[in-house]
């Protein structure tokens, strides 16, 4: 089920939250809305879901105009950062809720809920209360609950935002695998570029209420449309007045074609990587290399090295 947002604009008082946004999310795809805080990602997601109405523009879901439909008639599933579970209901009942409301037969509900709990790896927790789950388990329950009523599209607003780094990483991998199994068209808001790069088929970079670029993770990383996208999707440093990726700077002990002599100001080792802070006339770029490369070059603070920008 594809999603289209056509010419979407939204103001809050004088503040322009979205300005003429056009976006097409193909059926079955996992798309990330990525950008800095306040850029308009959540507003766009909420307009697609019918939790907010645009001042101008049109929303189509599966080719059908949904612009004026309320959320409950758009057949969308939502998951938010802080998930509002029914605290007094078991995990099973929480997942079953939407099906019970729709008065599905008991046997069908039982089968469906067990399938979903298996899908999100929570079968053994069916009888627990939400408060007896970890944060990551609760978000998985939220996903199962959103999927229960077989939504046409799934809208996730920073679903892992409140969790610690390790659990986030696990849930990212898990969401990717889940999506490969379920194939429901999914839009996912995040301000975390690693999360977007790892999980999504396509990324929409949003800043100041406008789309800066849409592309696959590789396209955005390798061919950013502008300095903003380049800076937002990976590390950057300035060399000779232009932005480059620090791992694209070539370091050598010998002068090579186009290389500049640089002083090594600082050498910092983080895990398997080394960060080399350099000084050249008018610039202070930094280079990123593996520890092995740094050791092989014999880099030392106070020493000199030849640096060549990427072509
Ligand atoms: N109901 C509202 N009333 C007034 N201003 C709002 C409202 N909702 C959002 N805004 C403003 O619109 C802008 C865009 O908000 P939005 O939540 O879409 O950004 P975001 O990119 O999702 O950022 P974040 O990652 O911080 O949630 C923000 O400046 C926000 O303060």
pLDDT number for residue 18: 97
Q: What is the DSSP letter of 45?
A: H
State the pLDDT at residue 1: 86
From 5, 14, 41, the mutation candidate for ligand 1 (largest count of ligand atoms within 8 A of CB) is: 41
Query: How many angstroms is it from 42 CA to the middle of ligand 1?
Result: 7
Predicted pLDDT at 85: 82
Cα 307 to Cα 287: distance, rounded to the nearest angstrom: 9
Mutate to test the pocket of ligand 1, among 17, 23, 47, 80 (most ligand atoms within 8 A of CB): 17
Residue 86 alpha carbon to ligand 1 centre in Å: 27
SS3 content of the chain, % helix, strand, coil (to 5): 35, 30, 35
Which residues, including other chains, have CB under 8 Å from residue 298's CB and lie 6 or more apart?
253
Distance CA 16, CA 208 (A): 8
Distance CA 56, CA 20 (A): 8
Closest CA to ligand 1's atom 5: 12
Q: Average pLDDT across each block of 10 residues of the chain; the chain has 311 residues. List them in order.
A: 95 96 95 94 96 95 91 88 84 93 92 90 93 89 89 90 82 86 91 92 96 96 93 91 92 92 94 94 92 93 94 78
> Any residues with CB less than 8 A from the CB of 220 and at least 6 apart, and which?
203, 205, 213, 229, 233
Q: Which atom of ligand 1 is found nearest the CA of 18?
A: 14
> Which residue's CA is minimally distant from atom 7 of ligand 1?
12
Q: Nearest-CA neighbor of 153 among 212, 91, 69?
A: 69
Kindly report the protein residue whose alpha carbon is nearest to atom 8 of ligand 1: 43
Residue with CA at minimum distance from ligand 1 atom 16: 40
Q: What does the pLDDT read at residue 120?
A: 85
Residue 81 main-chain phi, psi, to 5 deg: -60, -50
Which pLDDT belongs to residue 6? 97
Cα(50)–Cα(139) distance, integer angstroms: 22
Q: What is the ipTM of this complex?
A: 0.92
Question: What is the C-alpha separation between 262 and 254, in angstroms, rounded?
Answer: 12
**Cα(63)–Cα(4) distance, integer angstroms:** 8
pLDDT reported for residue 173: 87
- pLDDT at residue 65 in the model: 93
Burial 80-112 (b: 16+ CB within 10 A, else e): bbebebeeeebbbebbbbbbeeeebeeeebeeb
Alpha carbon of 256 to ligand 1 centroid (Å): 50
Contact 136, 170 (CB under 8 A): yes
| Pair of tokens at residue 215 | 């592309």
pLDDT at 301: 94
Residue nearest to atom 28 of ligand 1 (CA): 38
Residue of 18, 36, 39, 82 best suited for mutating to test ligand 1, as the one with most atoms within 8 Å of CB: 39
List, in order of start, the domains of the chain with CATH numbers: 3-231 (3.40.50.300), 238-308 (2.40.50.140)
Residues in the ligand 1 pocket, defined by CB under 6 Å: 12, 15, 17, 35, 37-43, 189, 191
Q: Name the residue among 67, 33, 34, 35 with its Cα closest to residue 53.
A: 67
pLDDT value at residue 251? 95
């Amino acid at each position: 089920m594809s999603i289209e947002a056509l010419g979407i604009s939204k103001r809050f008082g004088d503040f322009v939250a979205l300005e003429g946004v056009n976006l097409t999310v193909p059926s079955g795809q996992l798309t990330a809305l990525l950008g800095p805080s306040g850029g308009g990602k959540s507003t766009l997601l909420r307009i697609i879901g019918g939790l907010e109405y645009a001042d101008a523009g049109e929303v189509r879901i599966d080719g059908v105009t949904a612009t004026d439909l309320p959320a409950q008639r758009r057949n969308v599933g939502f998951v938010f950062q802080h998930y509002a579970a029914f605290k007094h209901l078991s995990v099973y009942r929480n997942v079953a809720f939407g099906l019970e409301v729709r008065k599905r037969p008991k046997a069908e509900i039982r089968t469906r809920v067990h399938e979903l709990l298996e899908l999100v790896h929570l079968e053994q927790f069916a009888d627990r209360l939400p408060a007896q789950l970890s944060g990551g388990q609760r978000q998985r329950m939220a996903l199962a609950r959103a999927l229960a009523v077989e939504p046409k599209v799934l809208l996730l607003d920073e679903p892992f935002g409140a969790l610690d780094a390790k659990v986030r990483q696990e849930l990212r991998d898990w969401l990717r695998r889940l999506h490969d199994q379920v194939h429901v068209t999914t839009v996912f808001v995040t301000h975390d570029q690693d999360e977007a790069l790892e999980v999504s088929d396509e990324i929409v970079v949003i800043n100041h209420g406008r789309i800066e670029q849409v592309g696959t993770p590789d396209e955005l990383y390798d061919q950013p449309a502008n300095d903003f996208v380049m800076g937002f999707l990976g590390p950057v440093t300035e060399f000779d007045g232009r932005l480059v990726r620090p791992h694209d700077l070539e370091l050598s002990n010998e002068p090579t074609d186009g290389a500049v002599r640089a002083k090594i100001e600082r050498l910092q080792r983080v895990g398997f990587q080394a960060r080399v802070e350099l000084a050249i006339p008018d610039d202070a770029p930094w280079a990123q290399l593996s520890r092995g490369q740094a050791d092989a070059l014999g880099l030392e603070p106070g020493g000199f090295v030849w640096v060549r920008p990427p072509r």
